[in-house]
């Protein structure tokens, strides 16, 4: 055994680790330097133990500490200060969340397009969704849906003559071409905003011919000779659905 390994074993012995001390003792027998080192380290360990535990702990002192703690926590109640700390932390977290959400909305409103125009050509009256592939055997009409304001972006193409679109008109529009009126209609399949106020129903001059076989139906069928331009204003929480040709 060399002196370096001997030093490591000395510390293992001082650490209370079970060690084969025979080899160490054999080295210490013949190495004076290591023997002195071991004696010094043991002495250091003893001195440290004496310094950190100089005297027994008086029971009266511990009892006094206990009473002081109990008096203090008795005023705080169960959980102590942690209760209102937790409430404060929860309130701060909620405030931060609201702030982040508000900032996100502000940034999002800037980034979100205020107006989206979708142009699709449909073959027959129907309600279609954006990006729906539509086969166009006979183009009948070009619809444009303008969606304004977030968060709901409606990109449906609505055909004016379809009863499936204007499902339940609550009031029949009685407007002359070029005039404006207001009508309350129900769109389907709108879920949360079924009732929408349709305003500015303008009836411009016809632009193209209605294809043969197109099913005239519903109240709007009364205006088949014209291309209505409808502007639908959705209530709070929704977008403004504007439709026109």
Q: Give the distance from CA 138 to its chain's centroid.
A: 44
Question: Which residue's CB is nearer to another protein, number 60 or number 212?
Answer: 60
Question: Which residue's CB is nearer to another protein, number 71 or number 191?
Answer: 71
Closest approach, Cβ 78 to another protein, in A, equals 3
Closest approach, Cβ 23 to another protein, in A, equals 19
Reference 189, options 229, 137, 143, 154; nearest CA is 154
Residues that bind another protein (CB under 8 A): 11, 14-17, 37, 39-41, 43-45, 47-55, 57, 61-62, 65-66, 68-70, 72-74, 76-82, 85
Closest approach, Cβ 8 to another protein, in A, equals 8
Question: Which residue's CB is nearer to another protein, number 38 or number 187?
Answer: 38
Question: Angle 32-52/21-30 helices, nearest 10 degrees?
Answer: 120
Closest approach, Cβ 96 to another protein, in A, equals 22
Check if the beta carbon of residue 141 is closer than 8 Å to that of residue 152: no
Q: Quick one: CA dihedral 124, 126, 131, 134, positive or negative? A: negative
Q: 50: part of which helix (H) or strand (E)?
A: helix 32-52
Q: 116: part of which helix (H) or strand (E)?
A: strand 115-122
Closest approach, Cβ 58 to another protein, in A, equals 9
Reference 126, options 116, 113, 140, 112; nearest CA is 140
Question: Which residue's CB is nearer to another protein, number 49 or number 87?
Answer: 49
Closest approach, Cβ 91 to another protein, in A, equals 18
What percentage of the chain's residues is helix, strand, coil (to nearest 5)? 40, 20, 40
Question: Which residue's CB is nearer to another protein, number 78 or number 213?
Answer: 78
Sequence-separated (6 or more) residues with CB below 8 Å from residue 176: 203
Asked if the bond preceding 220 is cis, omega within 30° of 0, the reply is no
Question: Which residue's CB is nearer to another protein, number 54 or number 137?
Answer: 54
Question: Which residue's CB is nearer to another protein, number 52 or number 205?
Answer: 52
Closest approach, Cβ 95 to another protein, in A, equals 23
């Amino acid at each position: 055994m060399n002196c370096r390994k001997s030093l490591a074993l000395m510390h293992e012995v001082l650490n209370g680790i079970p060690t084969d001390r025979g080899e160490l003792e054999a080295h210490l027998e013949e190495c004076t330097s290591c023997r002195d080192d071991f004696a010094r380290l043991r002495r250091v360990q003893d001195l440290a133990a004496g310094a950190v535990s100089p005297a027994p702990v008086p029971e009266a002192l511990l009892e006094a500490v206990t009473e002081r703690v109990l008096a203090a926590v008795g005023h705080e109640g169960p959980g102590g200060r942690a209760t209102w700390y937790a409430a404060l932390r929860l309130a701060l977290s909620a405030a931060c969340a609201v702030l982040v959400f508000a900032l996100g909305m502000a940034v999002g409103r800037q980034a979100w397009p205020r107006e989206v125009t979708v142009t699709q050509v449909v073959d027959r009256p129907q309600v279609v969704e954006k990006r729906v592939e539509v086969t166009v055997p006979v183009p009948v009409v070009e619809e444009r849906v303008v969606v304004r304001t977030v968060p709901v972006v409606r990109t449906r193409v609505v055909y004016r003559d379809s009863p499936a679109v204007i499902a339940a008109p609550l009031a029949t529009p009685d407007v002359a071409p070029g005039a404006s009126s207001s009508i309350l209609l129900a769109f389907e399949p709108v879920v949360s905003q079924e009732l929408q106020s349709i305003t500015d129903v303008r009836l411009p001059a016809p632009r193209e011919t209605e294809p043969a076989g197109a099913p005239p139906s519903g109240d709007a069928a009364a205006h088949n000779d014209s291309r209505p331009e409808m502007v639908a204003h959705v209530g709070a929480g929704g977008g403004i659905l504007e439709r026109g040709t």
